[in-house]
Amino acid sequence: MLRCADGSVYTGVTTDLERRLAQHNAGTGAAYTRSRRPVALAWSAKAKDQSSALKRELKLKALTRAEKLRLVASRPAGAGPSRRRGASARR
């Protein structure tokens, strides 16, 4: 999950988190983040495979903004073992 400059939260999946974050900040990521730069990593989790990552992405996107912010607050990016490649931004 990315926190955008306007305070919104973007959710997607990727196989290379650092590369995808750089793409979003360079304006070559998702159309949603292009006008909301800069973006910062807010939360990430590793998935065992692409199917699992896409299922998690759908569940995360269904959360309300308040629920997403609670999730981010409960385990910020870089905290704990899930700060790895997996679910955070679109490929």
pLDDT tens-digit map of 7-64: 999 999 999 999 999 999 999 999 999 999 999 999 999 999 999 999 999 999 999 9
Domain-embedded: residue 17? yes
H helix intervals, 4-79? 17-26, 31-34, 50-62, 65-74
Is residue 55, in this structure, part of any structural domain at all?
A: yes
* Predicted TM-score (pTM) of this structure: 0.80
44 with 84: CB under 8 angstroms?
A: yes
Is residue 53 assigned to a domain? yes
**Confidence (pLDDT) at 75:** 81
26 in any annotated domain = yes
Structure confidence at residue 34 (pLDDT) = 96
Question: In this structure, what token pair is assigned to residue 38?
Answer: 């800069």
- The pLDDT value recorded for residue 22 is 98
- Owning domain of residue 30: 2-74
Indicate the number of domains in the chain. 1
- Can you give the pLDDT at residue 64? 97
What pLDDT shows up at residue 78? 61
